[in-house]
Chain A
Amino acid sequence: MSMKLNNLYYPPGGMLIWIIITIELLTFIPGLFVFLYERSQNPTEFAKAAQGLNSLVGTLNTAILLTSGWFMANTITSIRSRNEKAAFRWLSLTIFGGFIFLLIKGIEYYGKSGAETSIQAGGFYTMYWLITGFHYIHVLTGVGILLAMLLELKNKFATEEYLQNIESSSVFWHMCDLIWIFVFPVFYLLK
C-alpha cells in the first residue's frame, strides 16, 4: 500500500477520488429514486417497457464488469508484489473486460435507438438512456485512464507516484462497479 490506509485523510486511492465517488453516488442514487418514483406512478407502462430489456444480457454484462474489477484488484496486488509482467497482464485483462462491457452495451443501445425506445420516448426509456448512458461515460473514462496507466507501466512501474496513481485509478474503476450494482437491478430485474 502506498500509505497507511487507516488514515482519515488518506482513504484507499486518496482523498480526491473519494470526494469524486461521494459526489457520483449522490448523483446516481437520487437519479435511481426518481426512476423508482416514476415507476410507482406508472407501473403498467414501466413494466411493459422493462420487458424490452434483456435481463440475461444485462446479467452477463454485470458479470463481465465485476470480472474486470477482479482483474483490477489483482493488478494492484501484482504491483505491490513488484511483479511487472503479472501487473501488465492483469491490467490488460481489466481494460479488455471494460471494452467488452462497452461493446455489449453499445449493441444494446443500437437496438434501442428506434423511436419507441429512444431517449425522447419519455418515461422508462428516457431514464434508462440518462442513467445507463451516464454510467457508460464513466466506464469509457475509466478505460481511458487505465490505458494511460498501462502505457506508463513499463517506465514508471517501480515509482511511488505510479503506485499512488494506479491505486486511484483502481478505485475509480471499482466505482463503476459500485454504480452498476445499483443500476443493474433497477432496470433489468424489476419487471
Chain B
Amino acid sequence: MQELKLENEFRTNLIVWLLAIALVFTGYALLESKTENLLSAILVISVVKFILIAFYFMEVRHAHIFWKALGLCFAVVFSSGFLIFT
C-alpha cells in the first residue's frame, strides 16, 4: 500500500514537471508568435506554474488551509500588480 502511494507520488511529480515545462515553452512560443493577448497569457501561465510548484512540489496541497490561502494570496498579489503596471 505504502509502495503504491510512493509510486503515485513519482507519477504525480512527473506529470507536474511535464505540465510546467510545457507552460514554459508555451510562453516562449506565444512571445514569438506575437499574439495579441500576450500579457494576459504570460500572466495566466506564470500563475499556473506558481500553483503547480507550490501545491505539488512544495506539498502545500497537504498543508493546513492557512498555507494554501497564503500561497494563493501571493499569486493574486503578483497578478494584481502585473495587471496594474502593464
On A, residues with C-beta under 8 Å from B are 1, 5-8, 11-13, 18, 22, 25, 29, 32-33, 36-37, 39-40, 55-56, 59, 62-63, 66-67, 69-70, 72-74, 77, 80-81, 170-171, 174-175, 177-178, 181-182, 184-186, 189-191
Contacts and interface: CB of A to CB of B under 8 A. Distances in A.
B31 to A, nearest CB: 5
A70 B57 contact: yes
Nearest to A77: B9
Interface residues of B, number: 44
Q: Majority SS of interface residues in chain A?
A: helix
A70 B17 contact: yes
Interface of B: 2-3, 6, 9-10, 13-14, 16-17, 20-21, 24-25, 27-28, 31, 38-39, 42-43, 45-46, 49-50, 53-54, 56-60, 62-64, 66-67, 70, 74, 77-78, 81-82, 85-86
B25 A63 contact: yes
